[in-house]
Amino acid sequence: MLVVVNAVIGGGRNLAARLLDWPGPLAESRAVVVPRGADAGLADALAEAGVVRDARLFRLALLIERGGRLHAGEFAFPAHASLRQVIETLRHGKPVAHHVTIPEGLTSREIAALLARAPALAGDAPAPAEGSILPETYDYSWGTPRAALLQRAQAAMRAALAAAWAGRAPGLPLANPEQAVILASIVEHETARPAERPLVAAVFLNRLRQGMRLQADATVVYAASGGAGALDRKLSKADLALDDPYNTYRINGLPPGPIDSPGLAALQAVLHPAPSDALYFVADGRGGHAFARTLDEHNHNVAHWRAVDGP
């Protein structure tokens, strides 16, 4: 190593440039986690990862190529990156961006499990409050605490909810933004068709106005599953009779809290429902629903679609 140092010092700029620009050992581009700490430890990590040929040569390159400080994190190095490119990446490059998508309609437990599996996140985080997360795709860098990502998702929900509530339609039978989230979480589970959300929301809002029970199956599933959000079986009559504050077949009005984290589209459907007098809906066997204003119409729809689907 001493011979190399003396040769570089004695050889002047040309030899130094050759050292800095000589192709490195990486056969193909790859992302490498660069630890925090002194340059010596960083050089050893780069050599161990195969980014540079020798830790001592990298330290020598730092003596030649003076400039800003080196950053820790996860960085993508191109194939055969030279020492100059490695240094430039560590000084000015952007860390590798990871992404995690939180889908609409997940329960608090499901979100916690999803984040626990997400790569490159660090630490533990408790399950968030139900309905406090805005379903979205979030970018993060290696080592981001799970708790910090959850806080971002909760802040996004607070901002989105405040804006949506401020622009809500007049005359809704909802006392506060929290009630909007509760109803949106039910709408999220009651239909998979985006175009139907405002209609489903209208049915539930009409029921609230008339003092009718919501009778939403999704709330019974939440109650019967203990908040897990799913059952491995069909709902039974015993489930519908369950004495639980989330069972909207037994309670009046809204349940005490959300049953999942609704997306912005479900929230907007609740705050801008379709102009409809419907009070009932039933699955039509084709992924959608048949809506009715009266119980007679609803019973007719039920009988029709049961005949179509079979017993």
Indicate the pLDDT class of residue 16, thresholds 50, 70 and 90: low
Q: Which residue has the tokens 């660090």?
A: 122
Q: 165: exposed, middle or buried (C-beta count within 10 Å: 0-12, 13-18, 19+)?
A: middle
Bigger pLDDT: 170 or 281?
Answer: 170
CA dist 261 and 49 (Å) reads: 41
**Residues 58-100: pLDDT tens digits?**
888 888 888 778 888 889 999 999 999 999 989 988 889 999 9
**Residues 35-58: pLDDT tens digits?**
876 666 888 889 998 999 988 988
**Mean pLDDT on 211-221:** 94
Q: What is the pLDDT of residue 14?
A: 66
Return the number of other C-beta atoms located less than 10 Å from residue 310's C-beta: 6
**Mean pLDDT on 209-222:** 94
Question: With 60 as the cut, is the pLDDT of residue 311 above it?
Answer: no
**Mean pLDDT on 241-266:** 95
Q: What is the pLDDT of residue 65?
A: 81
- Are the C-beta atoms of 181 and 154 separated by less than 8 Å? no
Bigger pLDDT: 228 or 12?
Answer: 228
CA dist 271 and 124 (Å) reads: 35
CA distances from 134 to 64, 91, 99, 246 (A): 49, 34, 15, 22
Q: What is the pLDDT of residue 205?
A: 98
**Mean pLDDT on 138-156:** 95
Question: With 70 as the cut, is the pLDDT of residue 106 above it?
Answer: yes
Q: What is the pLDDT of residue 125?
A: 87
Which stretch of 35-44, 240-249, 279-288 has the lowest confidence by average pLDDT?
Answer: 35-44
Phi, psi of 258 (to 5 degrees): -65, 160
Q: Does the predicted model carry a pTM greater than 0.85?
A: no
**Residues 226-237: pLDDT tens digits?**
888 888 888 888
CA dist 243 and 224 (Å) reads: 10
Q: What is the pLDDT of residue 307?
A: 61
- Are the C-beta atoms of 231 and 224 separated by less than 8 Å? yes
Indicate the pLDDT class of residue 5, thresholds 50, 70 and 90: very low
